[in-house]
């Protein structure tokens, strides 16, 4: 199959992942998938994020045409070995952001790509240091609505960037789809970096 004939599907309805994948200038379709996102007892954070991304791409592949390539990702905020997930409400978000305040946490973003019997994966690990946060600004941030569906209760691409004192790693990875790792996986489909750069919109 030629790269020009490739049918690429993003197994995610996340606006952030759609935006990031769109930067490559490739045509793709969006497919919503649902998988269980609960860490297993004793499961390491890196293993968990890889498993969830893999489950998403597998689920997407089961719903997609047989000749399609399916891309999926999972992103988690981790502090002291604990996976934060998405806040369940204002108090939960306040607790999360209070713990992240003044400290450095990891953001793990796994990418999974499937076509036919082939499966490729990649993992991006970033370190994010927050400045000290006040309770008043944490409450104001929650009231903005931005952190409600975000891992770790913040969006680095939005107002949450005001909390970030230092980032070591991938900005796009913290957003939800690390472009460097994704580009490396797309090479397996015959989409080299030069092709992606040529296809990207100005």
Q: Please give the full DSSP string across 159-188, using - where no structure is assigned.
A: GGGGGEEEEES-HHHHHT--HHHHHHHHGG
47 is catalytic: no
Handedness of CA 5, 11, 12, 16 (dihedral sign): negative
Provide the 8-state DSSP code for 89.
S
Which candidate, 86, 190, 101, places its Cα nearest to that of 146? 86
Burial class of 65 by CB neighbour count within 10 A (0 to 12, 13 to 18, 19+)? exposed
To the nearest 10 degrees (0 to 180), the angle between helices 179-186 and 15-22 is 60
CB 115 within 8 A of CB 109: no
- Distance separating alpha carbons of residues 108 and 180, to the nearest angstrom: 14
Query: Which of the residues 5, 67, 74, 80 is marked catalytic?
Result: 74
Which candidate, 153, 46, 60, 41, places its Cα nearest to that of 109? 46
Catalogue the active-site residues.
Answer: 74
């Amino acid at each position: 199959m030629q790269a020009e004939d490739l049918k690429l599907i993003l197994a995610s309805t996340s606006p952030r992942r759609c935006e990031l994948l769109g930067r490559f200038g490739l045509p793709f379709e969006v497919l919503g998938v649902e998988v269980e996102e609960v860490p297993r007892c004793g499961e390491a954070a890196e293993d968990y994020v890889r498993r969830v991304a893999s489950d998403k791409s597998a689920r997407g592949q089961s719903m997609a045409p047989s000749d399609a390539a399916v891309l999926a990702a999972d992103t988690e905020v981790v502090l002291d070995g604990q996976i934060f997930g998405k806040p369940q409400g204002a108090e939960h978000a306040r607790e999360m952001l209070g713990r992240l305040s003044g400290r450095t946490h990891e953001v793990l973003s796994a990418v999974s790509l499937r076509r036919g019997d082939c499966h490729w994966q990649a993992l991006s690990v970033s370190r994010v240091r927050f400045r000290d946060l006040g309770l008043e600004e944490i409450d104001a941030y929650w009231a903005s609505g931005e952190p409600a569906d975000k891992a770790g209760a913040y969006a680095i691409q939005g107002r949450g960037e005001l909390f970030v004192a230092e980032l070591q790693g991938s900005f796009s990875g913290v957003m939800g789809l690390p472009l460097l790792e994704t580009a490396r996986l797309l090479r397996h489909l015959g989409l080299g970096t030069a092709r992606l750069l040529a296809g990207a919109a100005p």
